[in-house]
Amino acid sequence: MKYGQLAKDIIKNVGGKENVISVVHCITRLRFKLKDESKAQTEVLKNMDGVVTVMKSGGQYQVVIGNHVSDVFKAVVEIGGFGSLDAEAVEEKSDQNLFNRFIDIIASIFTPVLGVLAATGMIKGFNALFLSLGWLTADSGTYQILNAVGDSLFYFFPIFLGYTAIKKFGGTPFIGMAIGAALVYPNIVALSSGEALYTLFAGTMFESPVYIEFLGIPVILMTYSSSVIPIIIAAFFAAKVENFFKRVIPDVVKTFLVPFATLLVIVPLTYILIGPIATWAGNLVGMGTNLAFNLSPVVAGIILGAFWQVFVIFGLHWGLIPLAINNLTTQGFDPILSMVFAASFAQTGAVLGVWLRTKDQKIKSLSIPAFISGIFGVTEPAIYGITLPKKKPFIMSCIAAGIGGAILGLVGTKTYMIGGLGIFGLPSMISPEGMDAGFFGMLIAVAVAFVLGFVLTYLFGMTKEKSDDATGGNKNQMKKAS
């Protein structure tokens, strides 16, 4: 229990274990849902060794730890006994607005799978890189196995999201997985290659051939592999249906009759109604997103690039993640994640500028690990420990990220898979046809953002430093983060 004392102090200062509804973690943050945030000692937490800062966003109380957050999370869960907590069984706070609830739902559903999603995407990206460089051939066993690993999670995404989504909505995770598995069941998928019985909505944008019926009701078969929206909506209704059956079915047979009845209702309903409507909605969202970016890719790149780090600070980026994944599902590519790709490199360049320019030894010692983390796409140590407290470096990094985003929009860079962060995200932008102008333009944009972040910070971001210990009022933060 290397982080045992830190975990005890965190639990105490979030209001004690009785004030915690749930706790999860992302790349750098412990994300608490508290019964009463006013009981948390925010200033005490901010000044604790081992805590970078505290953020409140999307209905979550976020304690920023850094790269070792997973170890601290394990200690918090073990000491607090949070492993058995069912956050969804506790009534939601009534003072949350709709936007905060949306962000909270999205974050809770996607956060648990992001690490594995990034890992499999990295494997697929590097596999595409090896193919483009001629190191592998598409028919080689090595390529096929690596491709299977890379495709594994995204192809069967409904199963994984079925688990996290229904858990968030208060249902049984394995029921959610069973619904997701039914949506990608191979024999059903193969039916759409046969001869259609008839066609529904002929002559409209919703024209759909019907290959099978369920109790005489036409079933519009959709491609649900890699899909996002259908399983989330199905999981929402499944949780409601399951809870209904839990109330009416006797306890003696509840163990098997509740999932039995829930699956019998939800899976056909999803195939007949929820799936097609959700898929059409997803297609419309994808088309709308693509149309908006095509109107002015450069302006879109400037706005998204410049404000992406701001979105990350407040957790607002979660509102864009589902759109990006939906674009990958419906179009095979996404422009959102590519537009913001240069932002982390701009932030890292700004850290380098601070490191070379500052005379404060505490900031210098903090800058080195923050720079290394930034290269690999984890920028919270840089933001909270260096650039944001000193203000100007953060502004310079946003300017550089906006210019990088403009270049990415201009050359039409697209993301073809969810991959790693930082340098590990480079292969994610290799087209299935090979390296194109968008990929090489991305390399230029990354280099420009990094250099600009460094130069602007070095020349204009440090002019107000008054002494060797000028830390923008964050001496304690420098001490604990280093």
280 exposed, middle or buried (CB, 10 Å; 0-12, 13-18, 19+)?
A: middle
Looking at residue 335, what is its pLDDT? 87
Residues 344 and 216 both lie in one domain: no
The answer to whether the predicted template modeling score (pTM) of the entire model surpasses 0.75 is no
In a domain, 107, yes or no: no
Residues 362 and 466 both lie in one domain: yes
Closest by CA to 324, choosing from 179, 406, 226, 439, is 226
In a domain, 139, yes or no: no
Walk along the chain (482 residues) and give the pLDDT tens digit of each residue: 578 889 899 999 999 988 998 888 877 788 888 888 889 999 999 888 888 888 887 678 889 887 788 888 888 988 888 764 444 434 444 455 676 777 778 878 887 887 788 888 888 888 888 988 889 898 899 999 999 998 888 889 999 999 999 998 989 999 999 999 999 999 888 888 778 888 888 877 778 888 898 998 999 888 888 888 899 999 999 999 999 999 999 988 989 999 999 999 999 999 999 999 988 888 787 777 777 777 888 998 999 999 998 888 776 777 778 788 888 887 888 888 899 999 999 999 999 999 998 888 878 888 888 898 889 888 878 888 788 888 899 999 999 999 999 999 999 999 998 877 888 889 999 988 888 899 999 999 999 999 999 999 999 987 655 444 444 444 444 444 43
Among the three residues 79, 94, 109, which one is the final residue of a domain in this structure? 94
Phi/psi region, residue 26 (left: phi>0; alpha: psi -120 to 50; beta: rest), is: beta
Residues 163 and 246 both lie in one domain: yes
Residues 475 and 339 both lie in one domain: yes
In a domain, 332, yes or no: yes
Cα radius of gyration (the chain): 24
Report the 10 Å Cβ neighbour count for 23. Answer: 25
Among the three residues 94, 109, 142, which one is the final residue of a domain in this structure? 94
In a domain, 151, yes or no: no
Residues 264 and 362 both lie in one domain: no
* The token pair that represents 61 in the structure block: 């109380």
CATH number at residue 80: 3.30.1360.60
Residues 321 and 460 both lie in one domain: yes
Report how far residue 226's alpha carbon sits from residue 97's, in angstroms, rounded to the nearest whole number.
30
In a domain, 116, yes or no: no
Residues 266 and 327 both lie in one domain: no
- Provide the 3-class DSSP secondary structure of residue 335: coil
Among the three residues 292, 313, 341, which one is the final residue of a domain in this structure? 292
* The token pair that represents 346 in the structure block: 């701009």
Residues 387 and 455 both lie in one domain: yes
In a domain, 194, yes or no: yes
String of DSSP letters for 174-220? HHHHHHHHHHT-HHHHHHTTS--SEEESTTSTT-EEE-EEETTEEE-
CB 143 within 8 A of CB 136: yes
Q: What angle do CA 156, 160, 165 make, to 5 degrees?
A: 135
Which range of residues forms the domain containing residue 37? 4-94
Residues 226 and 301 both lie in one domain: no
* The token pair that represents 29 in the structure block: 């943050």
Supply the DSSP symbol for 459: I
Looking at residue 295, what is its pLDDT? 83
Report how far residue 144's alpha carbon sits from residue 154's, in angstroms, rounded to the nearest whole number.
16
Looking at residue 1, what is its pLDDT? 58
In a domain, 20, yes or no: yes
In a domain, 138, yes or no: no
Report how far residue 445's alpha carbon sits from residue 336's, in angstroms, rounded to the nearest whole number.
15
Report how far residue 263's alpha carbon sits from residue 233's, in angstroms, rounded to the nearest whole number.
14
Residues 368 and 438 both lie in one domain: yes
Report how far residue 322's alpha carbon sits from residue 301's, in angstroms, rounded to the nearest whole number.
18
Report how far residue 280's alpha carbon sits from residue 329's, in angstroms, rounded to the nearest whole number.
12
Q: Tally the domains of the chain.
A: 3
Report the 10 Å Cβ neighbour count for 138. Answer: 9
Residues 306 and 453 both lie in one domain: yes
Residues 274 and 350 both lie in one domain: no
